Structure 1
């Protein structure tokens, strides 16, 4: 009898293959008190395990095939850097020395404390980086415990579906070279490592499917639908025929996308839409440009501040921004620091007390205005880099006009300061607002009279509007981009931009999701910013669409009073 299971689909594609389970085994971490004479030897044992874990990751990195997307290697590099992070090594050694703990128990104590910090973060993307800490510490622990994670060693080339509790970036890279066809994990969300890496490698994946290892049998034939998040175990002949037909359709569709490289995103009725990319590394710019991205709609800067105890200097930031700007031929929108008060960035101190609810506390532009020197150093670096290319500055989490004007005044003061010092700057550096707070969307007509552009951050806008945390497994089923309130806020922001004559982009995940492309076109969106891997598919939909007809259709569906009726009409939108 067939079994139908549902999780969170995070990487699209249809796969029909047999189950292979990853038997990692839970780590049984012993705790014991050391004799004073054993402390130094235990520290040597910890340092040796740390060194071996580093060697393992370098071995994995050396196995990455040429032509693999750059962000794959970046995940391994991040873990290598974290292995050398003093917040892990020094703290663990401190526990061994001061409390006479064995290395395993000391490292567990360090790990739990660091994870607690990340779980308090307000930014959903940054909060899921707790996985980095967990994976890095687990690798050291396995060396200490001599309990290596056993990946399957397949002699044949038959594709398989990997079912696991969770999968590390290193595991994904190794498995991708062993004919893995899809991933199913019990934990994780849309921003987890499994999700991000699976999308980059084009491997269908489903995450957050609880009890998957218990419910799915080793060697069992399953159908994976990575878009819908469905797993069908022991399918009958009718289901197999249906999904094999869908597989063939998808292969033909992917082949057709390649032909769109180099072509402009122009709709059937002649509307030119701008497709931009969200990037984190200079190397990503080349991939984005090859896929037809006309610039960068979001460059995150908070990575410069993470995994360190000191703040990045002005010159260090200038060099980082210069590398990005030099790699991008079109305009680039750089978001100023978007971290919360709970993030440790300055020589071990926090920028303010840890709040009970950091998502509603001192973060992003609020933090920058509270700590003007922090903001000033970043703005100096950004304005200096503006002489090298077409930079725009985007201010995150704007909630009222006063915040925006105060930030602009600070930027103007820095501009005059730099000119007085003889620095070359761009004549104009547009400053815009990221619309991710419902208050900003509602006040967008007022903000539009002062901002040079808007960029809608749907990830936070949806969370704040619906009062749910999308990385919380207990409530993430409520995360709904199609909720009428969300659509009205998006539509209001776009209309405000049109009325004021300023561009409005969208840089949240919704912009790169093909399921919503026609809806957003109908709402009037003309600039989409997304992961480079999504550009061609969104471009294809745009080129097959009649924007004028979509705008008329969407105006009608926004008047629906029944939620299901609205969903049905959105699903029926076509050219």
Structure 2
């Protein structure tokens, strides 16, 4: 067979080598036929039975989770249970059977396609990719209906057995549980992006993976030899003997390097010249905290609170209560054992599916979202603020406000925080009276008007993902313009260095919590700009620490200043390569 390469989105680093196991494609292509009137209720009962079966399967999966399973797996199974229980998936297909006389498979597939189409219109990348969760849940039900449950083979994991690389149209996090205890070393999917649940689970399991590889499940054949280069997002199909040997050597070196990383867990995060650097973790759930501590995190630099507000069942149509939020924030604070937890307030908006929201916008990314939405819904915002403040009685918490751009927004936010404090004082509820309040710097206007923020707030955190996206006016998940998403664009380098230097001069703490913070190719550049606080996914902590303890600022800072004076793209890339070798 002729060797060829495929390209996708790298979501989990490392190299995997093995034989392809093709999972069946999407199960939405089902039989379509009409049923007689006297068969309607039996068809309804057939669909209800399939839904109940999948519900039991998911509950069994959750109860049998290994103790060492990543927290994300349990959380995502919970999400799938919520989706399965939602009337949009559990009731409307029944109505379609009764009114249109569709067979059960057709009725369910019709509703899944309708919901997926609605999600595809969402501007926010993370939420747009939740359509995959709906399809995954629907497919589990369809496979029960059609009797085509697609389990992975029982692979002999003995010495010399080739590892298995799963290739699929898409893979649900729940199905990934089947990969444990098997000779499974990586996966490739047609669909997915950086924020898909399967990508998040892959990173937490530390499994090499590449997603968004168009038509991979059609082009790759069963049992083909594959190489996944998780760093580059490249799949090599049917590699030559020479290429296979080169990648095996590269893989062996990576395994050796990872073992070395384990030895620096307790090593202080200090540069060669003696400069201490703080390493923080980004988390989405309180259960992520043990992984953060295991990676040596000094605290949580970003707790995304949005997850509490999404994928709620019919019984949870209202927003999470103050008690529900308080319990989640308190759990994270206690889990971090005295280390600070930075909680970002609700970063959600007109483009995000919270049931009671009826706002529309021609361009949701520039519309009523994040702090703009919170200020437009003060009672909702006050509920979250009270919950966070109450949790601050159990350990150090920092409040982080997203998408601020105007002095008036800062002043309104601080006024509401004070109002929440007053409400708690009146109820004689304890909280941290001096809780620090900071701003996400993710809008170019904010980076260019820092005195407004420094005067009013206690700390800053740069969200590089949105800052780059807004500054370059491109959507990084849009394949037609994704190649223009460039963290090394001269304008981005200026905004970053200006923001870090201005905060340092004013002695205001500043961190970076976007993807750049966890990218080891950017570590030395950010250190050279003066950054001393990085926040990233827990799985990236040791790799970044390794870069830090092998960096000498007396050499890096002059090299960084040279890069900041450079405007030609090739010259910047060349200078960055030299920076990595210093």
SS at match of 2:486: coil
1:505 match: secondary structure: strand
Structure 1 position 242 matched with structure 2 position 249: no
Q: Distance in 2 between matches of 1:517 and 1:353?
A: 40
The answer on whether the counterparts of 2:112 and 2:135 sit within 8 Å (CA) in structure 1 is yes
Aligned residue for 1:353? 359
CA contact (8 A) 2:333 2:391 kept: yes
Kindly indicate whether residue 456 of structure 2 is the aligned counterpart of residue 450 of structure 1: yes
Structure 2 residue 324 is the aligned partner of structure 1 residue 320: no
Match of 1:338 among 343, 347, 351: 347
Stretch of structure 1 that moved more, 29-38 or 223-232: 29-38
Checking the alignment, whether the CA contact within 8 Å between 2:401 and 2:440 is kept in structure 1 is yes
Aligned partner of 2:384 in structure 1 is 378
Question: For residues 71 and 26 of structure 1, do their structure 2 counterparts lie closer, same or farther at Cα, with a shift above 3 Å needed?
Answer: closer
Task: Give 3-state SS (helix, strand or coil) of 1:210's partner.
Answer: coil
Change (3 A) 1:569 1:88: same
Picking from 228, 233, 236, the partner of 1:229 is 233
- 1:437 matched to 2:443: yes
| Change over 3 Å in CA distance of 1:318–1:548 after alignment to 2 | same
Once the two structures are superposed, residues 393-452 of structure 1 have per-residue CA deviations (whole angstroms, 9 ceiling, x without a partner) of 111111222211211111112212321232212120111111112221222233222121
Q: Distance in 2 between matches of 1:279 and 1:70?
A: 11
For 1:416 and 1:250, the matched residues in 2 are separated by 54
Alignment partner, residue 530 of structure 1: 536
What is the CA–CA distance in structure 2 between the aligned matches of 1:305 and 1:117, rounded to whole Å? 19
Change (3 A) 1:357 1:34: farther
CA distance in 2 between counterparts of 1:235 and 1:28 reads 33
1:186 aligns with 2:186: no
Q: Using the alignment, how far apart are the partners of 2:488 and 2:181 within structure 1? A: 38
**Contact 1:72/1:200 (8 A) holds in 2:** no
Matches within 5 A, 1:96-115: 96-115=97-116
Structure 2 residue matching 1:432: 3-state secondary structure: strand
Map Cα deviations across residues 516-572 of structure 1 (whole Å, 9 max, x no partner).
Answer: 111111121111111111111111111111123222211111111210110121122
Aligned residues: 572
Alignment partners' CA distance in 1, 2:554 and 2:114: 54
More divergent stretch after superposition (12-21 vs 145-154): 145-154
- Contact (CA 8 Å) 1:331, 1:390: kept in 2 or not? yes
> Which residue matches 1:46?
47
How many Å separate the matches in 2 of 1:215 and 1:95? 36
**Equivalent residues of 1:49, 1:143 under 8 A apart:** yes
TM-score between both structures, scaled by the size of structure 2 = 0.93
The answer to whether the 8 Å contact 1:22/1:152 transfers is no
Q: Which residue of 1 aligns with 2:25?
A: 24
**Match for residue 205 of structure 1 among 193, 202, 209:** 209
Aligned partners of 2:90 and 2:189: how far apart in 1? 30
Q: Normalising to structure 1: TM-score of the pair?
A: 0.94
| Displacement of 1:99 | 4.8
Q: Which residue in 1 is equivalent to 2:469?
A: 463
More deviation, 457-466/15-24: 15-24
- Provide the residue aligned with 1:293 in structure 2: 297
- Tell me the equivalent position of 1:399: 405
Residues of 2 paired with 1:301 and 1:573: CA distance?
36
Cα gap change, 1:354 to 1:41, in 2 (>3 Å): farther
Kept after mapping to 2: 8 A contact 1:23/1:150: no
Task: Give 5+ residue unaligned stretches, structure 1.
Answer: none
| Contact 1:12 1:204 survives alignment (8 Å) | yes
Question: Which one is further off, 168-177 or 232-241?
Answer: 232-241
Aligned partner of 1:572 in structure 2 is: 578
1:368 deviates by: 0.7
Moved more, 115-124 or 421-430: 115-124
| 1:220 partnered with 2:224 | yes
What is the Cα deviation at residue 63 of structure 1? 5.2
Structure 2 match to 1:174: 178
The answer (yes or no) to whether the contact 1:117–1:343 under 8 Å persists in 2 is no
Contact 1:452 1:502 in 2 (8 A): yes
Write the deviation string for residues 153-207 of structure 1: whole angstroms up to 9, x where unpaired.
Answer: 4345420222222222123221243211221222212222332222111211111
Q: After superposing the two structures, state which structure 1 stretch, 121-130 or 333-342, moved more.
A: 121-130
1: distance between equivalents of 2:388 and 2:263? Answer: 37
Q: CA RMSD in A?
A: 2.2
Structure 1 residue aligned with 2:507: 501
| Counterpart-to-counterpart distance in 2, 1:320 and 1:62 | 21
Deviates more, 1:467-476 or 1:364-373: 467-476
**Structure 2 vs 1, CA of residues 30 and 342 (structure 1 numbering), >3 Å: closer, same or farther?**
farther
**Is this contact kept in 2: 1:444–1:492, CA < 8 A?**
no
Are the structure 2 counterparts of residues 548 and 404 from structure 1 closer, same or farther at C-alpha, using a change threshold of 3 Å? Answer: farther
SS at structure 2 position matched to 1:379 = helix
1:311 is matched with which residue? 319
Q: Is the 8 A contact 2:124 2:351 kept in 1?
A: no
